[in-house]
Amino acid sequence: HHVEHVKHAEGCVAAIAEVQRRLRSTGEDPAAAGRVMREGWRAGEDAARGRGGAWLAYRRGGVEALEALSGDIAVTGPGRGSAAL
């Protein structure tokens, strides 16, 4: 299960990095970008179910990180949330 824990953490980092790149390149509203990214990662999580525990843990980590980020943006507002990214 150690590999799955590491892959979960890796998915968290990958998803947040992906959002950062998207925001820097598009200037998109952080809340909108988070929604789009979350939908994509959720679809990937569904697709990963048959690929093994490590892959599923990676995708689940990304989804959870994006959900947490979404909550942070909702609490702090888009301006302050994007400054933290």
Residue-level pLDDT, tens digit, the chain, 85 residues: 799 999 999 999 999 999 999 999 998 888 888 889 999 999 888 788 888 899 999 999 999 999 998 876 655 555 544 444 4
Alpha helices in 2-77 (DSSP H): 2-26, 30-48, 53-76
- How far is Cα 52 from Cα 72, in angstroms, rounded to an integer? 31
Q: What is the pLDDT of residue 76?
A: 54
**Looking at the whole model, is its pTM more than 0.75?**
yes
State the residue for tokens 């697709």: 47
Compute the distance between CA of residue 58 and CA of residue 4 in angstroms, rounded to an integer: 7
pLDDT at 18: 94
